[in-house]
Structure 1
Amino acid sequence: MKKLYNAFIEPFMTLGNKTFSKLYFAQVSSLFGDAFTWLGLALLAYEIKPESAAAILAAALTLRVTAYIIFSPFAGILSERIDRKKILLFTQLARMGIVCLLPFVSYEWQLYVLIFILNTFAAFFTPTYRAIIPQIVDKQVYREANGLSMATFQLLSVFGPALAGIASAWLGARQIFFVNGVSLLIAMVLIMTIPKESLQGALPLNLRKFESIWTQLANGVKLLFGNKIVRFALSIEFISAIAGAMVLVNTVGLVKTTLQLDDEHYGWAMSTFGIGAAITAFLLGSLDKTKTRSISLISGVIVIGVAISFANSVSYNGLLFLWVLAGIGQTLADMPSETLIGENIAAKDHGKVYGSHFAFSHLWWAIAYPIAGYIGTQFMGSDFLLGGLLTIFLALVIVMIFKFRG
């Protein structure tokens, strides 16, 4: 019991680091506003073309992932050449300007252009932010700091849209974009109070400026996949993405078609998935202090695989329980790669490696979504069973490959 209590307390103790605390709350403000933007996009898509709202939103999400895959590797390299504080401030300023343009969108193409540009800047901000964390907190509490950051992301992804929905009824569908503008402004103010030397850490500016961008891109990928511990985590992360995509893509059909329930029930089901993920992200850094995190990785992908395997054959209450387990498994399988990079890759290479990881982690989902969509449409009634069995089978294959071949 004491160990569990300490696991809850330890992540908050990282906020005693003033630099991390300011950066963390800047992230909280930014993520809070993002929830308003994505709910606003759904409402705006419906307003522009009601009959094609789902297709418009799907295209916007695809553009988001595409921007991440294309630009995030360059972000890591840029963070080694340019003052990281300038990167954070400029990208936040650019995002603030773009979200404040969204209320004035009248045509579908305008929405697509702004969303792609918005997430291009996000692709530069996020890897830089992640590369900073292991250099500003003590090594002994890095996992707790990363856990607090990831748990906050999960919680805001669950409760943020609910708050945005309430606000939209009061402010209006278009005006809620300005909430994100204000949240990004708050984040900028917090970042401005941090000395640039604190954000740069031990990494000197202009490091390896003589190397070409393409050489550094290749080195980032090589370092990412060259470390056996990180490579195993990435392999598990890909399998977990397939299982997670099954939850995100096919839960709506399971709830509304198979169980014959309404939107509210679907919302609660997805909330339980997010809550399970958030609680696990919060505790994981304190509970698992092993070097390879292999127990977390393997148990996580097996838990989510088993959880979704039974989804087609349970009642709604059973589904809620399974989705809590699925959320737990998702975090156990996904989150270790973040901290393993910080612990196993040299500090001077964090920028390029985090950039490469951000790109590949989104590429995994870009591959996983069509797989989940195909299984969900071709095998209705047994889609989650097949998806779960595929997850477990691939996990066992990966474990055997790494055990015997490394």
Structure 2
Amino acid sequence: MTAKALMQFIVEPLKPLRNFTFTKLYFSQIASLLGDSFTWLGLALLTYEINPKNSAAVLASALTLRVSAYIFFSPFAGVMSEKIERKKILITTQCARMIIVCMLPFITKEWQIYGLIFALNVFAAFFTPTYRAIIPQIVEKTIYREANGLSMATFQLLSVFGPAIAGIAAVWLGAKQIFLVNGCLLLIAIIPLLLIPAASLQKGMIMSNKSSKTTGSEIIKSIKLLFGNRIIRFALSIEFISAIAGAMVLVNSVGLVKTSLKLDDTHYGWIMSAFGLGAALSAFLLGSLDKSKTRSISLISGALIIGLSISIANFVPYQGLILLWILAGIGQTLADMPSETLIGENIHPEDQGKVYGAHFAFSHLWWAIAYPIVGMIGIHFPERDFLYGGLLTLGVALVTIIIFQSFGKKNYQS
């Protein structure tokens, strides 16, 4: 590969930034995601301050409430994004989140944590599907996959480096003050949204006649559209497989590093950073690598890569684990990211908002199902947890691939 070709390969994923509307949304996303890192690190410190003996249980409950808010409210959010001006949804939800995080430094009781965290993520459940539904409408079809990839790569990178930045800020400012930093970051995130004309965010949308349809019927329609398209249904099935493997990494890596390998927190941090960097790298390049209609190569290879990577994790030294976790991160992005792109490419623009909402709910439901499964594997098979988790991942992947290949040889559309 020549230097010019290599440079073009690297620069191609950045093409969406030529679209000024997308660029404003993108920088708003950066500020918002960085702020989220401050909130969750601050929450961990705050729960320990309020109840040192029960901080883990409080934090776990808060995270459960977070997922629950996504599962129950995202379908409603998707429908609302087609009935209410999208700019209003984005700005209102960001303002509400800013107010809530600025209230967190002043709480003193566990129930206050639960209430505010649930409310915070209800608004996040309305913001995210709306944001994702806008992207395929504002960028050209030729660069939509790159736009989606850039957005997801940023999410992965900030999930790695965001907590580190927040940790440094906590040392200088204190645990409670970093919530106010998030408030400032959310305010910064609102500014680019204010600069975008409302009409630019309404492309592909027809607001009339929406009021004649009930919210319940629209939610049912969104689920039918999500599972009714064979291409998207296969992608969603692979996402469930990826959730099992990803949950293994998130839940059981700490035991693998600190108990089995007898290493410290620093080594654990590097391991998880390797996972995040692998995911970010593949998200950045995926749009340029797989341009097929069904993305089946990406989906299948992703499920197999992450399944194989975790299957041998119990049998390698620390250096080998770093390499495996980079591969696992790559595999998870290959398995997860295509579904959002496929919705933008296969669902009519008028229905994309509700379908993104349904997808956001079901993708988090998969994780809610996967967490207890991998937790039980870790409890009952501590020395072989990743082996059995990997075999489960690969087994479900093979069954899924066989089923879809058997019933879909002629076409991918139901």
Bin the TM-score by the shorter chain: over 0.9
- Once the two structures are TM-superposed, the CA of residue 207 in structure 1 deviates from its matched residue by 4.7
- For the pair 1:397 / 2:396, whether they are aligned, the reply is no
**Structure 2: 5+ residue stretches without partners:** 409-414
Helix, strand or coil for the counterpart of 1:261?
coil
The letter of the residue matching 1:83 is: E
- Structure 2 CA distance, aligned partners of 1:193 and 1:59? 38
Unaligned runs of 5+ in 1: none
Aligned residue for 2:70? Answer: 68
Q: Deviations over 1:115-161 (max 9, x none)?
A: 00000000000000000000000000000000000000000000000
1:253 — aligned with what?
255
Partner of 1:310: 312
Report how many aligned residue pairs link the two structures. Answer: 406
**Residue 301 of structure 1 aligns with which residue?**
303
Q: What whole-Å deviation, never above 9, does each CA across 1:159-181 have from its counterpart, x for those lacking one?
A: 00000000000000000001110
**Is residue 361 of structure 2 the alignment partner of residue 362 of structure 1?**
no
Deviation of 1:209 after TM superposition, in Å, equals: 2.0
2:166 paired residue number: 164
Q: Output the amino acid matched with 1:172.
A: G
Alignment of 1:211-250 (within 5 A): 211-250=213-252
1:326 equivalent in alignment to 2:331: no
Q: Distance in 2 between matches of 1:276 and 1:97?
A: 34
Structure 1 partner of 2:288: 286
Query: Counterparts of 1:312 and 1:157 in 2: how far apart (Å)?
Result: 25
Q: Measure, in 1, the Cα distance between the counterparts of 2:183 and 2:349.
A: 33
Which amino acid counterpart does residue 312 of structure 1 have in structure 2? N
Is the aligned partner of 1:179 residue 2:189?
A: no
**Contact 1:77/1:213 (8 A) holds in 2:** yes
**Distance in 1, Cα, partners of 2:295 & 2:6:** 18
- Residue deviations 1:12-43 (CA, integer Å, cap 9, x gap): 12111010000110011100111000000000
- Counterpart for residue 30 of structure 1: 32
Name which of structure 1's ranges 181-190 and 358-367 shifts more when overlaid on structure 2: 181-190
- For residues 194 and 80 of structure 1, the distance between their equivalents in structure 2, rounded to whole angstroms, comes to 18
1:93-125 deviation line (CA, Å, top 9, x unaligned): 000000000000101110000000000000000
Aligned-pair RMSD on alpha carbons?
0.8
TM-score, structure 2 length as denominator?
0.97
Provide the secondary structure at the position in 2 that maps to 1:101. helix
Deviates more, 1:207-216 or 1:315-324: 207-216
Secondary structure of the 2:176 match is coil
Question: Cα offset for 1:313?
Answer: 0.5
Rounded to whole Å, the distance in 1 between the matches of 2:170 and 2:389 is 36
Superposed counterparts of 1:21-100, under 5 Å: 21-100=23-102
Of 135, 138, 141, the match for 1:139: 141
* Conserved? CA contact 1:80–1:206, under 8 Å: no
Shift of 1:10: 1.4
Quote the sequence identity (%).
68
Residue 384 of structure 1 is matched in structure 2 by 386
Paired with 2:98 and 2:10, the residues of 1 have a C-alpha distance of: 34
Q: CA–CA distance in 2 between the matches of 1:7 and 1:394?
A: 34
